Amino acid sequence: MSYHILHVEDDPLMRDLVELSLALDPSMKVFACDSGDHVLATAIEWAPDLILCDVNMPNMDGPAVLAALRKNPLTAGIPLVFITAHAPPAEAARLVSLGATAVIAKPFVPKTLAATIRSFLPAGGPAPASAALAAAAEPPRAPYDFNERLRADAAKLSTLRLQLVDEGAVPIVPPGLQTCVHQLAGAAGVFEFTAVSESAASLEEIIIERRAGRGAPGAISTNLDALLECIGRH
């Protein structure tokens, strides 16, 4: 017997990391989706024991996925756990109030992700991996060097920097900037690029504040420059 975990995440790197992390527990089988639309159909066909869902995704975000799942009698009872790089206490409480089982913050610890997920699964399933197996397991490794990801993100952020207009009450934020920063905050944290992760997370907070008409003009530009400088040090 095994647990079926349906994971939805638009960032290919994070999909790989979650799959490798959960593979440390041989009782877990993972099916990955790259969009909210995809997960709705797959949840009906595959009948997972739990859905692990990103929050910030294009077209259909995590809360919209949750609402759609709860409306369908075939998927209404499936536990859903959000995993996100933007999870201050107030936001985590809001997501749980929408009907989520729990919220896991990125960066997560690859060695312990399976145990965390198991705590949210229905009782009576397969026994966890033995202590000996867990002790012997190596942390999952990505199929490519994360420095390549940093260089690609730096190039993208540099292009978006040229399109940013951060003056006046409400800035003009180019499409894709917040998503890129959000994904980088989570992935960099998992790979222990702590300074990059913290800088990206701080920038995302500032983007949210400035879009709401709060904060000082120029704050996004200043912090984006700081993030690019931080990436450049690696």
- pLDDT value of residue 133: 34
Q: Are 185 and 150 in contact (CB under 8 A)?
A: no
Under the banding of pLDDT at 50, 70 and 90, the label for residue 66 is very high
**% helix, strand, coil for the chain, step of 5:** 50, 10, 35
- pLDDT value of residue 143: 44
Is residue 70 scored above 90 in pLDDT? yes
Helix (H) or strand (E) holding 136: helix 131-136
Under the banding of pLDDT at 50, 70 and 90, the label for residue 138 is very low
Query: Chain centroid to CA 17: how far?
Result: 11
Query: Chain centroid to CA 73: how far?
Result: 27
| pLDDT tens-digit map of 156-207 | 999 999 999 998 888 999 999 998 998 898 888 888 899 999 999 999 999 9
**Percent of the chain residues past pLDDT 70, beyond the cut:** 90
Q: Are 103 and 84 in contact (CB under 8 A)?
A: yes
Is residue 69 scored above 90 in pLDDT? yes
Under the banding of pLDDT at 50, 70 and 90, the label for residue 1 is low
128 vs 65: which has the higher pLDDT: 65
- pLDDT value of residue 24: 81
- pTM for the whole structure: 0.67
Q: What is the mean pLDDT of the chain?
A: 86
Q: What is the DSSP letter of 165?
A: B
Please compute the mean of the pLDDT values over residues 52-65 and round it to a whole number. Answer: 92
Upper half-sphere CA count for residue 40 (Cβ side, 13 Å): 17
